[in-house]
Amino acid sequence: MDQNPLGDDFSEDPKRPLDELCDIIVARHHAYLHRALPLIRAELARLTEPECAPARLLTDTREAFADVAHQLQGHLAKEEHVLFPALEALAKADREGGSRPALPFPTVLYPIRLMESEHARIEAAMERLRQVTHAFVAPEGASESCRHCLSELSRLDADLREHHRVESEVLFPLALELERRLP
């Protein structure tokens, strides 16, 4: 058995079936977001202005984070309930030697284009969060809680980059290629 089934190079195997790749993305990135977003929201809500001075930093950070979190929640739901089940149906058809399955859209290109445009909007919201927090660097005199919260935001930023990279550069091209290949 693989020592590290969610290891960084694990999703890059071009022969990996699409449904396994979807499972890896959900286990590695979606599960992290479902856990981390409410925790960060609660941490930000608990912080007081003197802990994260100047006051503007805290209000801007809360606002920018709320935008990222709101967009992500809608995006994850669409992937988990619409796109990934379609990709799983393609993978099943491929495995069983079947033809293109009936899907709720004429081609997976449609939801993939929508997901790509949502990635761009989420990345723009994340860029705003990066700007208002000065790239997640704690201000001088910040409390331990403020520092912890900023480090969690930095982790969110790093995870999101890898998440979008795997979807846009590995999963979506493989899905389009498989759909074209199925009779």
Query: What type of residue is 62?
Result: R
Q: Are 141 and 53 in contact (CB under 8 A)?
A: yes
Q: Which of 19, 157, 167, 179 binds Fe ion (CB under 5 A)?
A: 167
Q: Does 19 sit near Fe ion (CB under 5 A)?
A: no
Which of 79, 94, 157, 179 binds Fe ion (CB under 5 A)? It is 79
Stretch of 13-21, 45-53, 66-74, 76-84 lying at the interface with Fe ion (CB under 5 A): 76-84
Neighbours of 49 (CB within 10 A): 12
| Nearer to Fe ion among residue 61 and residue 179 (C-beta) | 179
Q: How far apart are CA 171 and CA 179, in angstroms?
A: 12
Q: How many CB atoms lie within 10 A of CB 81?
A: 9
- Binding part of the chain for Fe ion, among 60-68, 104-112, 126-134, 167-175 by CB under 5 A, reads 167-175
The closest alpha carbon to 44, from 22, 26, 59, 25, belongs to 59
**Minimal distance, residue 5 CB to Fe ion, in Å:** 18
Nearer to Fe ion, 167 or 179 (CB): 167
Cβ-based nearer residue to Fe ion, 64 or 163: 163
Report residue 54 CA to chain centroid gap. 30
Interface with Fe ion (CB under 5 A): 79, 167
